[in-house]
Structure 1
């Protein structure tokens, strides 16, 4: 009788959840920041919340906040 390595026995008792089908992931599409994007960001900063600026630019709030930080633009909307 041939003994199998230990990881084969564990796999036989506890099969992987989800089967063998690979899961689909969303492809990330990166876009350059245009001059008009930067102009819009700067004009809306200090007046508009980050989420609304992000929707106007069709970007994520994290990407919008990161770009504002790189430009030295404050997104704080408090008076």
Structure 2
């Protein structure tokens, strides 16, 4: 399984994670049947191979608040 590193922000109050961006760092699984591996055996665009990818989360920031999505929901509920 290939591993791709992604940066996240964590919010401790609501326990949500917000994905920010892929860092570009990858670990290759070296499987010829994995579509994301450089060793992939097919060159066709419509290949039936699966992409065996696991996202490895690296925390950029930890916030002692709620995430922007939960904050928006709270504001909407307060208006009602």
The structure with the larger Rg is 1
Q: Greater share of strand residues, 1 or 2? A: 2
TM-score, shorter chain, exceeding 0.5: no
TM-score by length of 1: 0.24
TM-score by length of 2: 0.24
